[in-house]
A = this chain, B = another copy of it.
Amino acid sequence: MKEFELINRFFTGRGITRRDVDLGIGDDCALVTIPEGCQLAVTTDTLVEGVHFFSDISPKALGHRILAVNLSDLAAMGAEPAWISIGLTLPNVDETWLEQFTEGMHDIAEYYNVQLIGGDTTQGPLTITVCAKGIVPKGKALTRSGAKVGDWLYVTGDLGDAALAIEARKQGWELSDEDRSYVQKKFDYPAPQVAAGQVLRGLANSAIDISDGLLADLNHILTHSGVGATIHADKVPVSNALKNLPDEEVRLMLAMAYGDDYQLLFTVPDSNRVAVEKRLAEYGVTPTCIGQINANAGDVSLLYKDKPWPFPATGFEHFS
């Protein structure tokens, strides 16, 4: 296991240094200070080779991804990301791989002002668990349980691109070089909506990040809030790359029932719609209203061009 100690050099002394880290990597624990009047937000995500990513994923993209999926959870609560700990299990010490993996990790950590404060590296099948910690003013966090009847349903950006990247590869779909490159980048380097999440504090009634797919994650909000929703499938924002797919049912499946988008889905009372759109625009985010919350607890009414639209169950056969 000696060589596994060596890999600490890929993690120690790199990345940013936050002033609220009193003791970083190197002792039995790290020590950090939470600002007065704030709560600590904590989330954990694991990525396993062959389950969450193909074995030939770029190590840099993987380093980015493990942080992105965790920061996305902090974003969904309106928390400011601060510190991460990593449990990294590797089959062997491949210095080139580690250099690229940590480069991807440190790049996104630096972008979001996040410091690695500790972890554990062990030998075994490739598995990565990150525990991300953030801070949020006390009582101001966004949750899944705050949606109110009449709230408007929004998403922060295009859905379905990561799904298209995966399925094009699995199904052997023909994509233009430009589209393939575009969706692959969306899959490889998801951008957690960290600024948007913080902007939405005090304006949105509820929020969640879209990791399991629009409909699945919407269902979490509905269940936790005890409400229902109407969704306009034709209003779900999609990229030009996805629009270039000929089969509309497949397009809608990818955009609504897939996942890995890491956009935020959130609900806004009518009185805050203008403020939300204006404040998000200041951060370059153009939210799209795709529906509304209603009182039919747990029920989703899907509309297409204002007509009831039965979700194509057969659509799933594309992915069997």
Contact = CB atoms under 8 A, between A and B. Distances in A.
A33 interface: yes
A30 B42 contact: yes
Interface string A32-63: 11101001111111111111100000000000
Interface string A112-128: 00000111111111010
A79 B29 contact: yes
B129 A29 contact: no
A76 interface: yes
A229 interface: no
- Place the interface of chain A in its size category: 35 or more
15 contacts: A27-B77, A27-B224, A29-B73, A29-B76, A31-B39, A31-B141, A33-B39, A44-B85, A44-B120, A45-B87, A46-B120, A87-B129, A120-B129, A124-B125, A125-B125
Contacts of A131: 42, 44, 85, 87, 129, 131
B42 A133 contact: yes
A134 B32 CA distance: 11
A124 B39 CA distance: 33
A89 interface: yes
A117 B42 CA distance: 8
A41 B34 contact: no
Contacts of A79: 29
Nearest to A47: B122
Given A48-B124, A122-B52, A124-B51, A31 B41 contact: yes
A201 interface: no
Nearest to A145: B27
A22 interface: yes
A67 interface: no
A305 interface: no
> Most chain-B Cβ atoms within 10 A of its Cβ — which of A28, A39, A125?
A28
Given A28-B76, A28-B77, A28-B209, 6 more contacts: A26-B144, A27-B77, A28-B208, A34-B34, A44-B120, A48-B125
Contact of A122 (B33, B48, B86): B48
> Most chain-B Cβ atoms within 10 A of its Cβ — which of A42, A43, A73, A136?
A42
